[in-house]
Amino acid sequence: MNPESEQPQSTDPLTHKPVPPRPPMQDEDPDSNEDKQMQVAMRMVGSAMVFIGFLQVFLSASTGAEITIFPMIIYFGGMAMWAYSSVENATVKYAVMAGSAVCALAFMHFGEVLFWHKYIIYWGTIALVVFFMFKSPQKPAE
């Protein structure tokens, strides 16, 4: 018998047993999936509210018709929801939310929407869309 061709016995102390694979590391707790789902829902609802408010402002600005304050409240409420769910920097997030709330309350206090209000909303929204459209996405850190 050739000792090199023999297979080691299971009682042999030098036998190497295969190491079982490690369980995958979970960096996130299970509740974070629910948080992500809520953020996605808030982002969708906020974007829809901004779009609905902007559509009414756009149609009013292009036709010269008057609008009430409700499209502005919808617009700024949607912007606050979108900022809460999308912006990661806390300072920017809460600044956008506070600015949106102040603008909505100012329109409620003022009670009417003037021509220049509509054009500021119109061109400001276009500037934001263009900015985010051409902003390159950040790669996740590994």
pLDDT tens sequence across 96-129: 999 999 999 999 998 888 889 999 999 988 988 8
pLDDT beyond 70 at 46: yes
Half-sphere exposure of residue 40: CA atoms within 13 angstroms, side-chain side: 6
Q: What is the pLDDT of residue 135?
A: 75
Buried b (16+ CB within 10 A) or exposed e, 38-55: eeeebbeebbebbeebbe
In the chain, what percentage of residues exceed pLDDT 90?
Answer: 44
Instruction: Please state the rounded mean pLDDT for residues 68-91.
Output: 92
- The pLDDT of residue 26: 60
